[in-house]
Structure 1
Amino acid sequence: MDSLDRVVSPYEGSGHRPWDDSEEIAAPLRLHRTPVSPRWVDYNGHMSESCYLLVFGDSADAFFRYLGIDEEYRAGGHSLYTAETHIHHRREASQGEPLALSLRLLDHDAKRVHVFHEMRHGETDALLATAEQLLVHVDTRRGRSAELPARLQHRLSAIHRAHAPLPVPDAVGRPMGIRHAPGS
């Protein structure tokens, strides 16, 4: 499949940086910045809702590379797949405006990774949107979940320790629904 025939992350082909156990881990991680592309603007004159997910996906890809998951890793038959995403839209973003994303690791186990993204305006720091994601490590050849290798579990544990002191955002785990006043 030609790269023009599929969605391509801006990090495609960039590999991953080497992991250094002595390096301080930012809390939260700030791995992705981008301006709002003209291709992302809809008929209302601001970023379309599907493009928020695209940008959160690019932020997740930056995190995967931080963790050590890149093309070489995927060629070995494993990857992280998104099992669930909850997006909360807070403010509009217009063409050309700078987006700054952060990611915090909320939890993980042998097969799953729970993350929370914030998308902020790159100049005003206004919160534009959040995304909560549950990711599953998959054996792509067998088409089923698989345990993360020990080195990735070790890295996730280090990131989790660094992010554990951060408060859990109010949006985490919130169900969707229409709230009714008592007696209505």
Structure 2
Amino acid sequence: MTIVPEEWLDYNGHVSEFRYLQAFGDNSDTLFRRVGIDETYRAGGHSLYTVETHMHNLREITQGAHLTFTLQILDLDVKRLHIFHTMYADGHEVATAEQMLIHVDMARGKATPMPDWLYDRLTAIHREDQELPRPDRVGRVIGIRR
């Protein structure tokens, strides 16, 4: 759980949009540590990089709110991970983020296959997550509806 500090607020008195992304990033880091992507793994020259994010801010969040998160693996292959975050403030859904991540060789700056052990760990979580309903906001595009 994260308690929203004052420094996260913007000039309107609500959480600034970049803090939403920071909080979702921290949520991803929790998954990464769970599956073995930690400082030692990154020191070996590999990591997951976010290449696309689509956020939905559903409610305003103010100082002192208690944030909790879920993260669902929607899909994956040996180089990519498609995830969906949901953020809750005091039990109410307040934001979501859909993200595509790629596994990279950091020295080369290029996508590279995950090691088998990492792919297997993520696949096991994905199998469990397939039993969850697919979030309604997955795959939405931005545009002015006419």
TM-score band (shorter)? over 0.9
For 1:163, give the aligned amino acid: D
Residue pairs, 1:136-147, within 5 angstroms = 136-147=102-113
CA distance in 1, matches of 2:121, 2:110: 22
Which one has the bigger strand percentage? 2
The aligned residue for residue 143 of structure 2 is 177
Within-5 A mapping of 1:76-155: 76-121=44-89, 123=90, 125-155=91-121
Using the alignment, how far apart are the partners of 2:5 and 2:35 within structure 1? 27
Q: CA offsets per residue over residues 62-116 of structure 1, 9 Å max, x none?
A: 1110111000000000000000000000001111110001100000000000000
Counterpart CA distance in 1 for 2:53 and 2:35 is 20
Q: Which has the higher helix share?
A: 2
Q: What is the number of residues matched between the two proteins?
A: 146
Matches of 1:68 and 1:107, distance apart in 2:
19
User: Can you give the 5+ residue segments of structure 1 that lack an aligned partner in the other structure?
Assistant: 1-32
Q: Determine which structure has more spread, i.e. the larger CA radius of gyration.
A: 1
CA–CA distance in 2 between the matches of 1:83 and 1:157?
Answer: 20
Matched, 1:161 2:127: yes
TM-score (norm 2): 0.98
1: CA distance, partners of 2:97 / 2:35: 19
Query: How far off its partner does 1:157 sit?
Result: 1.0
Matched, 1:70 2:38: yes
Listed as ranges, the gaps of 5+ residues in structure 2 are: none
Matched position secondary structure for 1:153: helix
TM norm structure 1:
0.78
How far off its partner does 1:173 sit?
0.5
Q: Which aligned runs of 4 or more in structure 1 are off by greater than 4 angstroms?
A: none
Give the residue type in structure 2 aligned to 1:40: W
Which secondary structure does the structure 1 equivalent of 2:126 belong to? helix
Aligned counterparts of 1:72 and 1:143: Cα–Cα separation in 2: 18
Identity among equivalent positions (%) equals 55
Q: Where in structure 2 are the equivalents of 1:17-96 lying within 5 Å? A: 33-96=1-64
Cα root mean square deviation, aligned: 0.7
